[in-house]
């Protein structure tokens, strides 16, 4: 089953499984493992997210001298686990596994770590024209059907259109726009008005297992620490990279703690860091990379976890689509919690930007107001929001948003160009540099890491 077909799995559509949903380990037959190679040089990896950790791990397996430079005080990048908030693992970043061939499943099996299918025996709800119903309840509604048909038959256009422009050309009425925003734009990391429709076609056609798997008892950060424990003593924390000079025989890295040199450098920072000019490249990046970057977006992202006194959305409800403040709410305790009183609220793009300027108290009041509208006042009637936590990924200076998406006019070839090494000295990895259509996922970030490591090995063996 591919991602587009999986959209039918919830009656109208399913999320594309993004927000960085899986972790990879070195166990594929075609990964760049194998015996060590003879190399006297050193490699600097910039960024200790999963892509950087995996690059370092694979290169260390080959016997290379590797150091990882991390701008913050922790590893994991856009994976951030919170303990003690609920009776199940709470994630403020990556949370679910949505790839068809997830190697995380193999890792968890080998480690005897239990996973849960959050959607098992659950249903999704859709908020449309002031009412909340399941897919069957909306089956006869023309706006719901139009949205469903649009998702199941995404058009490839001859012009550089946004998803919203394609929706408008399809003649879909405005009452279905919030629903389509929650089912497409929000799942892809931005707004329908900003995402290029042609650039998402390949991604939505990739295989998916049509599941929403999550660790039942263990935070994702536990898996990161366990899988990459051998890399931890190679990491220099609180070391922000300011410049990359690849004009000489060696690469000189200017950091907040001084200069370093290396024979090869791998950049795994989020694409937002490169786009906003935080790293000064000497010489500047080639025009083709700059053009590719101009067609790749990365917007604001805010994730909030809400714990109520009681569940008002239904014990068998998984996701609620169609909100305006928050396009999609998720029953975070589905299957895993004994009480199931916790909701996830994630906003991207313009919704995240609007929330960024509000206080926590205003955000909480607005969230409850929207949930009251969806559930006949039950969010506030005989109920209380007794715990709230948020992560504004846009405000994290080392991340700068959610994850990458194609702008109008963008294509997968932009990621091929972005990921191409420069002079066999400077390499690029991470979810935005994934060339297989798996951008916006940790699975894609680590696929990219494997590609980069193979490029490094090939360049060494070719000398």
Query: Is residue 4 over pLDDT 50?
Result: no
Reduced DSSP (H G I as helix, E B as strand, rest coil) percent helix, strand, coil of the chain, to 5: 30, 20, 45
Helix (H, G, I), strand (E, B) or coil at 67: strand
**Confidence at residue 346, expressed as pLDDT on a 0 to 100 scale:** 97
Query: What structural domains and CATH numbers belong to the chain?
Result: 3-18+113-206+301-392 (3.90.660.50), 42-75+228-297+400-461 (3.50.50.60)
Q: Please answer whether residues 94 and 220 qualify as being in contact, where contact means their C-beta atoms are separated by less than 8 angstroms.
A: yes
Helices 220-227 and 50-61, packing angle to 10 deg = 20
Compute the distance between CA of residue 339 and CA of residue 222 in angstroms, rounded to an integer.
24
- How many CA atoms lie less than 13 Å away from 260 in the CB half-sphere? 22
Q: What pTM did the predictor assign?
A: 0.90
The pLDDT, as a whole number, for residue 33 is: 60
285 secondary structure, DSSP code: P
Indicate whether 29 pLDDT > 50. no
Give yes or no for residue 155 having a pLDDT over 80. yes
Pairing between strand 42-46 and 213-215? unpaired
Torsion of CA 247, 253, 254, 256, to 10 degrees: 170
Q: What is the pLDDT of residues 404-418, one digit of tens each?
A: 999 999 999 999 999
How many CB atoms lie under 10 A from the CB of residue 1?
12
306 and 342 in contact (C-beta within 8 Å)? Answer: yes
Calculate mean pLDDT across residues 232-237. Answer: 98
Look at residues 336, 285, 318 and name the one whose alpha carbon lies nearest to residue 85: 336
- For residues 194 and 402, what is the distance between their CA atoms, to the nearest angstrom? 14
Angstrom distance (rounded) from CA 191 to CA 184: 8
- pLDDT value at position 102? 60
In 3D, which of 456, 440, 376 has the Cα closest to residue 195?
A: 440
Tens-digit pLDDT profile for residues 75-84: 999 999 998 8
- Positive or negative CA dihedral for 373, 376, 379, 381? positive
- Is residue 362 scored above 60 in pLDDT? yes
CA distance 191 to 170: 18
- 252-298 per-position pLDDT tens digit: 999 999 999 999 999 999 999 999 999 999 999 999 999 999 999 99
CB 270 within 8 Å of CB 70: no
Q: Is the peptide bond before 103 cis (omega within 30 degrees of 0)?
A: no
Stated as kind and residue range, the H or E segment containing 392 is strand 385-392
Is pLDDT larger for residue 408 or for residue 337?
A: 408
**Between 444 and 133, whose confidence is greater?**
133
Asked whether 172 and 147 are in contact (CB, 8 A), the reply is: yes
pLDDT score recorded for residue 15:
29
Mean pLDDT within 15-31: 37
Q: Average pLDDT in the 106-132 region? A: 82
Q: Are 195 and 8 in contact (CB under 8 A)?
A: no
Q: Bridge partners of 265? A: 44, 426
Contact indicator for 182, 327 with CB cutoff of 8 Å: yes
More confident residue, 102 or 298: 298
Residue-averaged pLDDT of the chain: 89
Residues in the chain: 463
Give the per-residue pLDDT at 98: 65
**Contacting residues for 357 by C-beta, under 8 A, at least 6 apart:** none
Are 339 and 315 spatial neighbours (Cβ–Cβ below 8 Å)? no
Q: Categorize the per-residue pLDDT at 101 as very low, low, confident or very high, splitting at 50, 70 and 90.
A: low
The CA radius of gyration of the chain, in Å to the nearest whole number, is 22
Q: Which pLDDT band holds residue 220 (cuts at 50, 70, 90)? A: confident
**The pLDDT value given to residue 210:** 56
Partners of residue 82 on adjacent β-strands:
90
Sheet holding 280-282, edge to edge: 258-262, 251-255, 241-245, 280-282
């Amino acid at each position: 089953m591919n991602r587009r077909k999986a959209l039918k799995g919830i009656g109208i559509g399913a999320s594309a499984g993004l927000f960085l949903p899986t972790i990879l380990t070195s166990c594929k037959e075609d990964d760049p493992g194998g015996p060590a190679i003879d190399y006297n040089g050193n490699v600097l990896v910039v960024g200790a997210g999963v892509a950087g950790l995996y690059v370092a791990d694979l290169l260390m397996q080959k016997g290379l001298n590797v150091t990882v430079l991390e701008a913050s005080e922790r590893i994991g990048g856009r994976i951030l686990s919170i303990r003690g908030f609920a009776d199940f693992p709470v994630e403020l970043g990556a949370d679910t596994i949505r790839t068809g061939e997830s190697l995380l499943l193999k890792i968890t099996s080998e480690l005897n770590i239990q996973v849960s299918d959050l959607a098992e025996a659950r249903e999704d709800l859709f908020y449309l024209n002031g009412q909340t119903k399941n897919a069957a309840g909306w089956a006869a509604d023309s706006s719901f059907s139009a949205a469903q048909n649009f998702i199941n038959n995404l058009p490839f256009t001859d012009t550089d259109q946004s998803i919203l422009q394609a929706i408008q050309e399809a003649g879909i009425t405005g009452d279905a726009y919030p629903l389509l925003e929650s089912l497409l734009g929000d799942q892809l990391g931005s707004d329908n008005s900003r995402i290029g429709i042609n650039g998402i076609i390949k991604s939505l056609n990739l295989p998916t297992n049509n599941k929403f798997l999550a660790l039942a008892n263990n935070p994702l950060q536990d898996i990161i620490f366990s899988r990459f424990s051998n890399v931890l003593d190679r990491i220099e924390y609180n070391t922000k990279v300011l410049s990359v000079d690849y004009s000489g025989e060696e690469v000189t890295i200017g950091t907040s703690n001084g200069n370093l040199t290396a024979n090869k450098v791998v950049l795994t920072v989020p694409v937002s860091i490169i786009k906003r000019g935080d790293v000064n490249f000497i010489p500047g990046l080639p025009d083709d990379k700059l053009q590719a970057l101009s067609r790749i977006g990365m917007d604001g992202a805010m994730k909030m976890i809400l714990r109520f006194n009681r569940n008002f959305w239904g014990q068998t409800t998984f996701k609620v689509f169609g909100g305006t403040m928050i396009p999609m709410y998720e029953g975070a305790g589905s299957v895993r919690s004994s009480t199931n009183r916790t909701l996830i609220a994630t906003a991207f793009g313009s919704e995240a930007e609007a929330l960024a300027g509000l206080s926590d108290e205003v955000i909480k009041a607005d969230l409850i107001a929207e949930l009251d509208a969806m559930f006949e006042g039950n969010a506030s009637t005989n109920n209380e929001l007794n715990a709230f936590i948020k992560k504004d990924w846009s405000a994290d200076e080392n991340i700068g948003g959610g994850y990458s998406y194609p702008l109008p006019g963008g294509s997968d070839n932009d990621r091929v160009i972005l990921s191409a090494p420069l002079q066999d000295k400077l390499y690029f990895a991470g979810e935005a540099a994934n060339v297989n259509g798996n951008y916006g996922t940790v699975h894609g970030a680590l696929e990219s890491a494997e590609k980069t490591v193979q490029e490094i090995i090939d360049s060494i063996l070719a000398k």
